[in-house]
A and B are shown apart, each in its own frame.
Chain A
Amino acid sequence: MTARNTFAQGMTLTWRSLVPLRNQPGELIQLLLQPIFMIVIFVVVFGAMSGDQSGAVQRLLPGVLTQVALTQTITTGLRLAEDIGNGVFDRFRSMPIARSAPLMGRILADTATMTLTVAVALLVGSVVGFRIRTSPLEALGGVALLLAFTLALGWVSAWLGLRARSAASMQGLATAVLLPLSFGSTALIPAANMPGALQWWARLNPVSHLADSLRSLFTGGPVGANVWITLGWIVAITACFVPLAVRTYARRIR
């Protein structure tokens, strides 16, 4: 299998994962509705409750953005588990194609939809009053940091999906992993407002560091160590879970 063939097959399988968004308006709407819902609920409703609408929007949107992106990382493992469950994976395995192509297609497609989701969330954010106060470079840095973090979690998701016995059990596993990460973080609530044990966890949680990094990179304020800590987590998670996922994948596709 030449590198060029492998790449072409990976692109075909990326296309295969993205084309349902074009085929069925429902799929696309579902993808876009999630960020819109989350922003309306958290930013608009909580903002209105706090009385300081524009301050709340600036404070909460970066946090909601991380929640939206985090939730979407489930897709990678879920779709892999589905492909294994309904035999599509076996069809690929019986064909003379690069072993890595199905995994490559999955990751590329999910990176593309994640980018789209983040763009939509920022757009909706700007409609409800969110303003980026920093330089374009810092803002782009924020987006890149978010995408790198979700890509790292995408490998965790892939690993879970390849190990799971079914798509449903993958969903359960992923939720169990994501809940403490997303809700036990300072994405939406400052650590100071949390009870003791949760506060301890929230200060440790990489998602807290990511959300605080995004707040600084989008709205200004001291960046501090948060970006470095987040980058450290990205490197650590990637270094751990890429080999794990690839090994599990290799075992499944043999």
Chain B
Amino acid sequence: MSNTIEAEGLVKRYGDKTALDGVDLEARAGSVLGVLGPNGAGKTTAVRILATLVGPDGGVARVGGHDVTREPAKVRELIGLTGQYASVDEKLTGRQNLMMIGRLLGLGRAPARARAEDLIGRFGLQNAADRAAQTYSGGMRRRLDLAVSLVGEPSIIFMDEPTTGLDPQVRAELWTVVREQIARGATVLLTTQYLEEADQLADEIVLIDRGKVSARGTPDELKARAGDRRLEIRPEHDAEKAERILAEVTGLRPHRGENGVISVPVLDPALPPAALRRLDDAGIVLTEHALRRPTLDEAFLALVAAPAEGLTDHTAANAAERRSA
């Protein structure tokens, strides 16, 4: 049996609000799928459907080869879930939380204790293991929540925004833990609002926005695409003319900023010198010019804001290339 996650055409409506509007997802066995999207995109809804917590209104999903609506019990045997909000029992200690889950999964008292001990060590909770979870910091709570979801050594793991709201150091710690799980061979579906996080952890990224997939590909593909370098110029005069020249050279419509900066994406490295030459020939003096690669955050914003077709076409082409390669 393979530890794959597959979803086709998932639809979920809440009243007249469409949370998911035909989402396809696929994670190969042993891979990490990053589901990236802003708040309200539909990430949690997708995870809840895949983890058998809510039924879809349309589409099918198979987890580990089992249909989530027809064989939820089979799916539950395979998965571990870390929800968006840590769902540990606040009144139990960390150790008791882990023991409870182990016992529920059918471990005897001693094996459950041993498993708890092991996870406490791996997640660095030694000093807090015998304190009630309600005394934990946000980061500790998240770590405990993650540990709890791993008690059954699941082969498929869902993590819904495991690091949102945590400071960078705690986030990096959690990444290490996630990487260990990946190394163990589990299939992981991880949702996040941070491209950087998806970039760090995922093999493939699906970008969703307002319930629809707006892009998919490897982190490098997405970064390269969204992170197209931009030529930025600030002409001293003749802004209209400069804009026209940039448009002619690149074949794309430049963006005119309020500070007098005109910018345009450049896909071909030969273009910037050509553009600058044409501007010079036209006698336009530039007070400033630069070739900039957007930061990851800018790239993410660009991906979210971009018209979906262009990007999906592009990534479809990339996917086709990969297949033929």
B5 to chain A, nearest CB (A): 14
- Is the Cβ of B76 less than 8 Å from the Cβ of A20? no
A-B CB contacts (within 8 Å), total count: 69
Decide yes or no whether A251 CB sits under 8 A from chain B: no
Q: Which parts of B88-147 form the interface with A (CB within 8 Å)? A: 88-93, 96, 100-101, 103-106, 132
Q: Which residues of A contact B79 (CB under 8 A)?
A: 94
Q: Which residues of A contact B85 (CB under 8 A)?
A: 86-87
In the complex the two chains form, is B76's CB within 8 Å of A86's CB?
no
Main secondary structure of the interface of A (DSSP, over half): helix
Q: Which of A9, A86, A90, A254 contacts B104 (CB 8 A)?
A: A9
Q: Residue of A at shortest CB range from B74?
A: A96
B77 at the interface (CB under 8 A from A): yes
The answer to whether B76 and A90 touch across the interface, beta carbons within 8 angstroms, is no
Task: Tell me, yes or no, whether B73 is within 8 Å of chain A by CB.
Answer: yes
A24 touches B51 (CB 8 A): no
Partner among B76, B87, B100 whose Cβ is within 8 Å of the Cβ of A12:
B100
Q: Nearest chain A CB to B242's CB is how many angstroms away?
A: 55
Instruction: Please give, as numbers and ranges, the residues of chain B lying within 8 Å of A95 by CB-CB distance.
Output: 76, 101, 104-105, 152
In the complex the two chains form, what is the Cα distance from A254 to B152 in whole Å? 22
CB-based contact A87/B104 at 8 Å: no
- Cβ contact within 8 Å between A24 and B104: no
Residues A96 and B83 in contact in the complex (CB < 8 Å), given A19-B92, A91-B148: no
A91 to B97: give the CA distance in the assembly, Å. Answer: 12
Q: Is A97 engaged at the interface, CB distance under 8 Å to the other chain?
A: yes
Task: Report whether A16 and B87 are in contact in the complex, using a CB–CB cutoff of 8 Å.
Answer: no
C-alpha spacing A237/B89, complex, angstroms: 31
A20 to B131, CA, bound (A): 11
Q: Closest approach, in angstroms, between the C-beta of A252 and any C-beta of chain B?
A: 11
B53 interface residue per 8 A CB criterion = yes
- B4 at interface by CB-CB < 8 Å: no
Given the complex of chains A and B, what is the CA–CA distance between A97 and B101 in angstroms?
10
Cβ of B132: which chain A residues have Cβ within 8 Å of it?
20, 23-24
B198 within 8 A of A: no
Instruction: Give which listed residue, A16, A97, A101, A254, contacts B92 with CB less than 8 A.
Output: A16
Q: Which residues 42-96 of B sit at the A interface, judged by CB distance below 8 A? A: 51-53, 55, 73, 76-77, 79, 81, 83, 85-93, 96
- Determine whether A88 belongs to the interface, using a CB cutoff of 8 Å to chain B: yes
A131 at the interface (CB under 8 A from B): no
For B81, the closest partner residue in chain A by CB is A94
User: What CA separation (Å) do A88 and B87 show in the bound complex?
Assistant: 5
**Contact status A96-B96, CB under 8 Å:** no
* A163 CB–B CB distance under 8 Å: no
* Contact A20–B104 (Cβ < 8 Å): no
CB pairs A–B below 8 angstroms (19 shown) = A9-B103, A12-B104, A16-B89, A16-B92, A16-B96, A19-B91, A20-B132, A27-B91, A87-B86, A88-B89, A91-B81, A91-B83, A92-B104, A93-B52, A94-B51, A94-B53, A94-B79, A94-B81, A95-B152
Given A27-B91, A91-B87, 20 further pairs, Cβ under 8 A: A5-B106, A8-B106, A13-B104, A16-B89, A16-B100, A23-B93, A23-B96, A24-B91, A86-B87, A87-B86, A88-B88, A90-B83, A93-B53, A94-B81, A95-B76, A95-B101, A95-B152, A96-B73, A96-B76, A254-B55
